[in-house]
Amino acid sequence: ANARLIHAQKLEALGRMSAGLAHEVNNPLSYILSNLRHVVHGLEKLPCKEEGLKARDSLTDACRDATVGAERIERIVQDVRIFARMDEPPRDPVDVREVMELSISMAARALRPELRLVRDFQEVPPVWGSEHGLGQVFLNLIVNATHALAGREQPLLRVGILSREDGMVAVEVQDNGSGIRPEHLSRLFEPFFTTKPVGTGTGLGLSICHGIVTRLGGDIAVDSSPGQGTTFRVLLPMATGQAAESALLALKRSV
Ligand code: ADP
Ligand code: MG
């Protein structure tokens, strides 16, 4: 229990530091990016004589490269900001299936056409959470699965939503991708743990998921065999009882 407390305190300190850092980096970064995009755009439109052509092209290339780098930082900063903002979870009754459909459509661009997507959705009661927070969780899990499925023949992504006897709704995101090495399993939810090449993964996705889910009174667990695939299981407390009923009614009236 003491180790857990120290871990939580470390996370909190890290969160505070990250929030400050992300905030400071964000403004100059936006400034750099908007200027770079302006230059690239302008260069592309510039009418020019033959001899200027080469110089123009090399400038355009340089700006494009710089833009790619800056956009990478932009993504990292976005992740860090979400990570740092985790401690304000609004709790409303949320329709898990609706949020999952939204997350799937948001990930659609990253899904290969040959991917078989299986939905095992039961009718489930609403859960406590926010559409934004839970959407973040589901999207992270789906995107990770698509990464693990890259290059796999007959890629399969199964999404299950089921209600359990213990008052929890279980959301499962299962892939038949690369799987996870046993020695990595215990580190998955650590902030900044990633096995992806520098500049692609931030290692914040799962720690964001873990933070959001546990703050809602839920849990997240993983089951994986290397070479076979991985299942992430998220448990979310059902929003049942009087408070939930009236909150849900009010919610439905307001949309
Ligand atoms: P990132 O995706 O930026 O690396 P995450 O926190 O989302 O950070 O994931 C941490 C690590 O967990 C990944 O780098 C990867 O090694 C592993 N991982 C997560 N999801 C899966 C999955 N579905 N299959 C295999 N490995 C996974
Ligand atoms: Mg990820």
Percent helix, strand and coil across the chain, each to the nearest 5: 55, 20, 25
Report the pLDDT value the prediction gives residue 198, as an integer from 0 to 100: 73
Give me the mean pLDDT over the 139-166 stretch. Answer: 95
For ligand 1, the distance from its centroid to the CA atom of residue 48, given in whole angstroms, is 47
For residue 178 and ligand 1, the question of a CB distance below 6 A is answered with yes
Cβ–Cβ < 8 Å for 235, 220: yes
Written as one letter, the residue type at 249 is L
pLDDT at 88 > cutoff 60? no
pLDDT at 223 > cutoff 90? yes
For ligand 1, the distance from its centroid to the CA atom of residue 149, given in whole angstroms, is 11
Mean pLDDT of the chain: 85
Tokens 């939905």 belong to 119
Find the distance separating the first CA and the last CA of the chain, reported in whole Å.
44
Beta strands in 54-207 (DSSP E): 92-94, 116-121, 127-129, 156-163, 168-175
For 191-218, write each residue's pLDDT tens digit. 888 999 876 777 888 988 998 898 888 9
Report the pLDDT value the prediction gives residue 3, as an integer from 0 to 100: 66
For ligand 1, the distance from its centroid to the CA atom of residue 140, given in whole angstroms, is 9
Asked if ipTM goes beyond 0.95, one says yes
pLDDT at 185 > cutoff 80? yes
For ligand 2, the distance from its centroid to the CA atom of residue 144, given in whole angstroms, is 5
Cβ–Cβ < 8 Å for 186, 221: no
Written as one letter, the residue type at 5 is L
Altogether, the residues listed in the chain come to a count of 255
For residue 126 and ligand 1, the question of a CB distance below 6 A is answered with no
pTM above 0.80, yes or no: no
Tokens of 92: 């409303």
Report the pLDDT value the prediction gives residue 46, as an integer from 0 to 100: 77
Going by C-alpha positions, the residue among 171, 50, 202, 46 that lies closest to residue 103 is 171
Burial letters for 40-72: b for 16+ Cβ neighbours within 10 Å, e otherwise?
beebeeeeeeeeeeeeeeeebeebbebbeebee
Greater confidence, 1 or 191? 191
Tokens of 190: 């650590």
For 55-70, write each residue's pLDDT tens digit. 788 888 888 888 887 8
Report the pLDDT value the prediction gives residue 251, as an integer from 0 to 100: 64
Burial letters for 19-28: b for 16+ Cβ neighbours within 10 Å, e otherwise?
beebeebbee
Q: Which of 75, 156, 185, 206 to probe ligand 1 with, by most ligand atoms within 8 A of CB?
A: 206
pLDDT at 181 > cutoff 90? yes
For residue 180 and ligand 1, the question of a CB distance below 6 A is answered with yes
